[in-house]
Each structure stands twice: as C-alpha cells, then as structure tokens.
Structure 1
Amino acid sequence: MEVVIQARGEQIAALVADAIERLLADKPDAVLGLATGSSPLQVYDELVRRHEDGRISFARARAFLLDEYVGLPSDHPERYGTVIARAFTSRVDFPEGAVHGPDGTAEDIPAACAAYEDAIAAAGGIDLQLLGIGSDGHIAFNEPGSSLASRTRIKTLTRQTRADNARFFGGDVDAVPRHCLTQGLGTIMSARHLVLLATGNAKAEAIHQLVEGPVSAMWPATVMQHHPHATVLLDEAAASRLQLSGYYQEVFAGKPDWQGL
C-alpha cells in the first residue's frame, strides 16, 4: 500500500487526475470505478478541466458506480446515478450507455446484484477504482461487520448513516432510503488499482486503522492491505494519527518520476 500525504486537496486531485490521464493514454477503453460523496469532487473538477483543455478523453472509456439507493425513482436528484452525472460524467465525453450503476429500482434485487457483477466482469474488470472512507472505516456501503469477501448486495443503512446523508434530503432523515445496493469488499478488491482519498481530522482514526492497524471486518477498509496495488492519498489532517507519516513522505519524495501512483 502506498501512502501519499499532501498539504492541500488540490494537490491530491492533481495526482489522481495524473494517474487517470496516464491510464487513458495507455488504454483509451479503460474501465473506471467512480465514487460519490465529497472526497472525489476535486478530482472530478480537475478531470473536467483537463478534458476541456483537450488533454483527456473518455470517449472510449466505461465506468461503474460503487453503490445506489434502493427505491428512489430514476429521476430523483439524489439518486447516485444522477449525482455522478451532475458532478462528473455529463461534463465530459463519456458515450451514452457507458456509465453503469446498480439497479436500485429492480423488482428482483438479488438478480440485479448478480447482473451488476456480470456486467463488471464482461467489461473486463475495473482498472482504477476511486474510493472514499467513512469515519468508521466503511468503503462504499460496507459498514463494520461486512464480510471481507462480500460481493454486490443489498444493505440496510444504519440510523447514523441515514442521519449523515439527511443533508442531501432537506435535513429529513426519514426521507433517506433505508436500503442500498453496494459493491462488496470482494468486488472492490477485484479492481486492478484502488485509489482512496481522505481529508480532514474526522477521517484520521479510520486512516490509522486502514494503513497501520490489523485487517478486521470492524474496519472494512483494512481489507485493502491485501491488495497488490492500493494508493491512499491524504491531507495532513487525515494523516495526523499515522505513526509512520515521516516514512511515507520520505518514500514518496524519493519515487522515480516515471513510476506515477
């Protein structure tokens, strides 16, 4: 696992955009894994700027989302498919039908989850998966206690998670769906490159557990320690609990320029 500590979010966004730009230059039909939430927003804005400057194209790329609410209509503004379109995919040149998400409106939920796994496999798997992390160590909607081998499935959202997301629903926690479909930890671990972003003091303990703690279902993101190509990008606040922060900074500063993330 590579740990990269930067002073500002803009620096983190530029490094991730560099990795995606390099990936698409080498493999224009690459498959990207996209996350919602606040963590990747600066990355998406940076990618849009590079697209507008003619540096990067998504015309042959495909993308898969990490998760989706169950029961929200397809035109709901907080449906994750709508959110990612608003934040990123509609602002660049992804072709129609190239961005996929779990079907939270399906009548047969288990079949929809299996179909999503099949669609990822049929696309050749995800080349680069963007991730955020919750203060309790969850990634996607894999809350503490999730199986480290789990695949795409339905999950019941905790009261705390729904309260955290109520700001997107006018502050009304009862308007937040009780269920979601999420890629499992095993699904996420199948991606070829995991790129996790975290900023702020609220993420410091989760990052400490992720990077330096034992692998445990109590901190689901710790499964990333078993991934052969995982990158964790942090600001100084999110890195404040790391015991080896000086080491991580020294190693990153000494990397060959050609290596990238």
Structure 2
Amino acid sequence: MNTPHPVRHYDRLKVAVYADRHTLGHEAGKAAAAHLRHLLNNQPRVRMIFAAAPSQTEFLATLAGEPGIDWSRVTAFHMDEYLGAACPPAQRFSTWLAQHLFAVVRPGDVWPIPAEGDAKTICCDYAAKIAEAPVDIVCLGIGENGHLAFNDPPVADFNDPQLMKVVELDALCRQQQVNDGCFATLDAVPRHALTLTIPALMAARRLFCMVPGRSKRQAVSDALHQPVSTACPATILRRHPDCTLYTDNDAFEEPPHG
C-alpha cells in the first residue's frame, strides 16, 4: 500500500507516514519538486539548503529525476560539515551531496562548506552567504539523538545568535555515523564539525524533513510528543509555520490509546 495515512498535525508540524522508505523518498521528492517548480514560476531564483545523509538518498534521487526544473536558477547550500584535514575528502558531506545531487542536476550556484581552514573565518563567510537573501527551502532529516544538522542536544540553541558555528559532536551523533556505514569505527569519526544553527534552518520559508527507518523511531517519537526543548532539538519543528515530516512505518509509532 503506497498511500500515506492521513496527514497528522502535531502543533504546526504536518506528518505524512508511508509504508516504507522508498515510498517516503519518492513522495517527498515529488512534493519538493512540485514546490520548487512553483517557486521558479514565480521568482527569478530559489535558494535551498540540503542535508547529506543516507536517510536522504531516495528523496534526492527522486528530486534529481523530476522534470521541468530549471536548476540553473537554484542556489544550493548544505547544512553541516566535518572540520579538519583528518576527515578524508571522500567522506565529507560536500562530496556526498555532489555525488547524489549536485553533479546530477548542476545547480547554478553551489556553496560547499570548507572542511579545512580557519573555523571562525569559514563560519563568518558562510553565514554571510546564507544571510544574503531569504532561504526558500530546507531539505533535512532528524538524527538518532534528535539533532537537526549537527545541533546535538548539548550544543543546540533555539535562540542562537550565530548562523553557523563550530560544535563538538556528542557520542550518540558520532555512533550514528558508524551505524549509517559512513565510517568503519567510532574512532574514525571526526569529533568536531561546522553546522548551520537552528535559527538559520528555521528561518527558511519551507521545510521538507525526511526521516525513515527503525533506528529513528525514538527520535521521531520524541520530536512529536516531548516538550519543545533542546533535549530533543527536533521538537522545534513543531513551531515552524510550513514544515512537513515524511516518515515511514518503521520510524513512526502510534501512541497508545486509553
């Protein structure tokens, strides 16, 4: 059965639940493509921010294959990156997104986050690019610890004065990179990263959030049912005026009745 359950609302957040991750990615990709086409029909350029994670694979494949999108008028950013030369280029998020999307659709402008260099300068320069004009679309996921981008619970700040910052990754976040097959061992996962902050992501006009898989069940449950707080950063999605969470039966659990 490929149709979703009826869309549910958790505060302002819309939630669509699909049978499996393939259907989730397909339907979310088509919805994002439709919105992107609509924007391109009504404005000269569109600015988008993308997450780089295996949870986004089916979504990005669908989006990349959708017809009628003038990608030359799209400016593309991504939301986080490992910091330091210790992370091989092949394992950087900019490389992953280039392989899964940017090299396929060739946006007019792509702004990768540098992994090497002075961190303060990188943050200032990238924040300035983000702040040049409103962001139209953010395509993101939710981490196993409830993080958005690399805003793990210990460093998440809903009122962060910065648009990008350096963070130390917590143990659960680093373990997820091993669970996802991105690194062979925990010791291989970098300890520090650059991330767009939660206010930078929440300022976008439209959010598409793709969260498949059994490993995300607790994070999805917390995001929908826990009080809005940085204990689960993803709870803030319930405050965004136009965000849809696309999830599947493995990640979504019906709350008990009674």
TM-score under structure 1 length normalisation: 0.82
Q: Which runs of 4+ in 1 moved over 4 A?
A: none
In the alignment, structure 1 residue 20 sits paired with structure 2 residue 32: no
Q: Return closer, same or farther for 1:147/1:225 CA change in 2, 3 Å cut-off.
A: same
Q: Which residue of 1 aligns with 2:91?
A: 78
Distance 1:218 1:93 in 2: 38
Amino acid paired to 1:112: I
In the alignment, structure 1 residue 102 sits paired with structure 2 residue 118: no
Q: Which residue of 2 aligns with 1:137?
A: 146
Contact 1:201 1:240 in 2 (8 A): no
Q: Return closer, same or farther for 1:242/1:183 CA change in 2, 3 Å cut-off.
A: farther
Task: Please state how far the C-alpha of 1:17 moved relative to its aligned partner.
Answer: 2.9
Contact 1:144 1:217 in 2 (8 A): yes
Determine helix, strand or coil for the equivalent of 2:90: coil
Q: Which stretch shifts more, 37-46 or 176-185?
A: 37-46
1:37-186 matches, cutoff 5 A? 37-50=53-66, 54-72=67-85, 76-95=89-108, 98-107=109-118, 109-122=119-132, 124-145=133-154, 146-150=156-160, 151=162, 152-166=164-178, 167-169=181-183, 171-186=184-199
Contact 1:129 1:191 in 2 (8 A): yes
Distance 1:143 1:93 in 2: 31
Task: Please state how far the C-alpha of 1:48 moved relative to its aligned partner.
Answer: 2.1
Determine helix, strand or coil for the equivalent of 2:73: coil
Distance 1:57 1:126 in 2: 17
Distance 1:131 1:147 in 2: 17
Contact 1:17 1:43 in 2 (8 A): no
Q: Return closer, same or farther for 1:172/1:202 CA change in 2, 3 Å cut-off.
A: closer
Distance 1:231 1:32 in 2: 16
Cα displacement string for residues 127-162 of structure 1 (whole angstroms, at most 9, x for unaligned residues): 010110012211101111321122310111223332
Contact 1:73 1:105 in 2 (8 A): no
Contact 1:57 1:93 in 2 (8 A): no
Distance 1:192 1:186 in 2: 12
Task: Please state how far the C-alpha of 1:37 moved relative to its aligned partner.
Answer: 0.3
Task: Please state how far the C-alpha of 1:70 moved relative to its aligned partner.
Answer: 0.5
Q: Which residue of 1 aligns with 2:7?
A: none
Query: Aligned residue pairs: how many?
Result: 236
Distance 1:159 1:62 in 2: 33
Q: Return closer, same or farther for 1:75/1:201 CA change in 2, 3 Å cut-off.
A: closer
Determine helix, strand or coil for the equivalent of 2:158: coil
Task: Please state how far the C-alpha of 1:81 moved relative to its aligned partner.
Answer: 1.1
Contact 2:136 2:205 in 1 (8 A): yes
Task: Please state how far the C-alpha of 1:243 moved relative to its aligned partner.
Answer: 6.4
Q: Return closer, same or farther for 1:238/1:27 CA change in 2, 3 Å cut-off.
A: farther
Task: Please state how far the C-alpha of 1:230 moved relative to its aligned partner.
Answer: 1.4
Q: Return closer, same or farther for 1:31/1:164 CA change in 2, 3 Å cut-off.
A: same
In the alignment, structure 1 residue 34 sits paired with structure 2 residue 50: yes
TM-score under structure 2 length normalisation: 0.83
RMSD (Å) for aligned C-alpha atoms = 2.2
